[in-house]
């Protein structure tokens, strides 16, 4: 996903974490979930991840991350109750380009490991 300088991005909702705009990158992407369940948003660079539905931030269910790793570096899990349209908001990214994957999590109890 190609990002823009954060100061040029108009977010759908205020990001869940205030991140400095100087030199940071941000971007938006639209995605649809076809069936309810737990999904993971994974990135290969450090950035703040928000998922937005109907103008509101969706609460995350779980997360994990590894400094010095880029395959993936950060994973956030979300529980989507219904199939619907979402906006992925990235902010505070250190790079103008990020690899993003949105995948359904396997059916397990506990952590997203």
Q: Is residue 75 a contact partner of residue 40, using CB atoms and an 8 Å limit?
A: yes
**pLDDT exceeds cutoff 80 at 89:** yes
4-104 is classed CATH 2.60.120: yes
Q: What is the pLDDT of residues 98-111, one digit of tens each?
A: 999 999 988 766 55
Beta strands (DSSP E) in the chain are 4-5, 25-33, 37-43, 48-53, 56-57, 62-65, 74-80, 84-93, 100-104
DSSP 6: G
Give me the residue spans of the domains in the chain.
Answer: 4-104
Q: pTM value?
A: 0.84
Which pLDDT score, from 0 to 100, does residue 42 have? 95
Q: Which conformational region is residue 7 in: left (phi greater than 0), alpha (psi within -120 to 50 degrees), or beta?
A: alpha
Query: Whose structure tokens read 């529980």?
Result: 79
């Amino acid at each position: 996903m190609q990002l823009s300088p954060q100061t040029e991005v108009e977010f759908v909702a205020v990001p869940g974490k205030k991140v400095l705009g100087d030199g940071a990158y941000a971007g938006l992407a639209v995605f649809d979930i076809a069936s309810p369940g737990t999904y993971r948003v994974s990135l290969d660079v450090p950035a703040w991840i928000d998922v937005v539905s109907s103008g509101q931030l969706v609460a995350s269910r779980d997360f994990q991350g590894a400094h010095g790793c880029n395959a993936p570096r950060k994973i956030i899990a979300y529980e989507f109750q219904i199939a619907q349209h979402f906006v992925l908001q990235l902010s505070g990214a250190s790079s103008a380009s990020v690899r993003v994957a949105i995948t359904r999590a396997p059916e397990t109890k506990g952590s997203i490991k």
